[in-house]
Amino acid sequence: MSGDDHSREESEYLSNRPNVKFFCDVTYDPFLYMQDNHKTYGIVFFVDIGFTISLVEWEATIPTLWSTVKEFMHLHPEHIAKDNSMGFLSDNDGEGYNLCHFWSNFEIADMDFWRGEAYQAFFDFLESKGGFYYERWGDAPVHSIAAALFANKSEIHFFRDIGYRHDPFQHCPQGDDWSRGKCACDPDDSFGESEDLAERIALNGRMRL
């Protein structure tokens, strides 16, 4: 997505994978919801982080990613959102990375966010360090870190009402969301609780610059 001419005409995208299952009726347009509510990034999983599941990254595959992110933040504090979600990424105000990330197997995002100055500068900086090639800096941690740092908390949305499975994990909506969606999944068989991400982003403090 970085500088890709083929994506310049698109405003949003949905990232999905083969052999996934959707359990519920989706009675609204998620893209319009994102637009109407000024959302930048939506998920169904978050890894504990426009999204349904969140998991933890395998630290051995990204040994220098966070030190590189910290270097970028030091050099470019102007790109860090005032109401960012550092509390999702770090348990010690940015000193270390807790390995949480949004599971990018399902994400809906505003293409202008990825085309924006902050993400383009971030991506170019990461690429200059070689971690995409010599480590395994994948789309999930990179997108998660970028969304958490460059978007305000209010711009990140957890689609808690979309039931979704990508083996071996699944998210099944809870309570009224399960009933309204006529979901064909067991609410007790769900990766984490629906409130976890919202609470983690809402309650944890943002990074102090």
Concerning whether 135 is annotated as a catalytic residue, the answer is no
Instruction: Return the amino acid letter for 6.
Output: H
Cis peptide, bond prior to residue 168, ω within 30 of zero: yes
Q: Which helix (H) or strand (E) holds 13?
A: strand 12-15
- 12, 57, 107, 155: the active-site residue: 107
Q: For 106-161, what is the HEC assignment?
A: CEEEEHHHHHCHHHHHHHHHHHHHCHHHHCCCCHHHHHHHHHHHHCCHHHEEECCC
Pick from 5, 74, 33, 43: nearest CA to 200: 43
Q: Which residues are catalytic?
A: 107
